[in-house]
Amino acid sequence: MSGVKAVGVRVALDRKPILHGVDFAVASGSWHAVLGPNGAGKSTLLRAVAGILPYAGEIHVGGQSVARLAAKHRARLIAYVPQEPQLPGDMTVGEYVRLGRTPHLGYLGVETRDDRAVAGRALERLDLTGFATRRLGAMSGGERQRVVLARALAQQAGLLLLDEPTTALDLGHQQQVLDLVDELRSTEGLTVVSTLHDLSIAAQYADELTLLVGGQAVARGTAREVLTEERIAEHYGARIRVLDDGEGRPVVHLVRGKGR
């Protein structure tokens, strides 16, 4: 079980406060999207949950304090996909994805046949099997993003943290990645916390949303509860309309200004 509970989370970077006592809870096996305008603290919150940034307050994953977990144990519980991953250009795709198995290796650090099979399935799920021997330095931005996600899937952690997972992807691969994550959540009980800029995509896939503004959670709940025209206009400074997709999920449309 990999539910998340965060209470009073505060983070400062270079002595500048970024998060100001954020609370949120994510049920095991659910998808929670963290939304907010630029500079709201979304990525900072994910990095705190991942154990990458020091924080004040409490963050528990699967009932265990993230701050008290040894790195290897934490990597068995939490897989993190950053928005702009830094990858070793001379490493092959297959080698990099197999690094996701590192937390599961024995004392000697030797990969087993099962480890290679898990990595192979992750490559296959993201249409990367044909790229296994290609150097990462020769991959496009979207391809590299899929490689990092494949490594995270090979990690087989119960909690998957995705920081803007669709930013570098074309429309078809956006849908492929989102549908795959949704399938794993349903079939394998994966818990997902993602940051997303696209509010309509968040409404389509996430069970619940948290809206961050200025490092504070200003709204929390279902998409219909959080994504109101008044709230979006207030916090994003945008002219929008919120429509219904016909299945009870909101769709957020920009309203064009009056041109000259």
pLDDT, tens digit (0-9, with 9 covering 90-100), for 62-78: 999 999 999 999 999 99
User: Is residue 260 one of the residues assigned to a domain?
Assistant: no
Which DSSP helix (H) or strand (E) runs through 35?
strand 31-35
Whole-number Cα distances in Å, 196 to 35, 46, 81, 112? 6, 12, 13, 36
User: Is residue 56 one of the residues assigned to a domain?
Assistant: yes
How many structural domains is the chain composed of?
1
User: Is residue 161 one of the residues assigned to a domain?
Assistant: yes
User: Is residue 51 one of the residues assigned to a domain?
Assistant: yes
pLDDT in the model for residue 65: 96
pLDDT in the model for residue 257: 84
Which ranges of the chain would DSSP assign to H, the alpha helix? 42-49, 71-77, 93-98, 113-125, 141-155, 171-188, 199-205, 223-226, 229-236
Kindly state the average pLDDT of the residues 79-99. Answer: 92
Q: Which of 43-57, 96-110, 153-167, 201-215 has the lowest mean pLDDT?
A: 96-110
Nearest residue to 155 via CA among 94, 100, 97, 91:
100
pLDDT in the model for residue 16: 95
Tokens (6 digits) for 223: 């998409």
User: Is residue 124 one of the residues assigned to a domain?
Assistant: yes
User: Is residue 259 one of the residues assigned to a domain?
Assistant: no
pLDDT in the model for residue 1: 64
Is the predicted pLDDT of residue 122 greater than 90, yes or no? yes
Is the predicted pLDDT of residue 260 greater than 60, yes or no? no
CATH of the domain at 109: 3.40.50.300
> CB–CB of 190/170 below 8 Å?
no
Tokens (6 digits) for 27: 């049920």
Residue 150 belongs to domain spanning: 4-254
Residue 43 CA to residue 233 CA, distance in Å, equals 22
User: Is residue 215 one of the residues assigned to a domain?
Assistant: yes
> CB–CB of 17/10 below 8 Å?
yes
Is the predicted pLDDT of residue 25 greater than 70, yes or no? yes
User: Is residue 123 one of the residues assigned to a domain?
Assistant: yes
Give residue-wise pLDDT tens across range 191-201.
Answer: 999 999 999 99
Kindly state the average pLDDT of the residues 124-140. Answer: 93
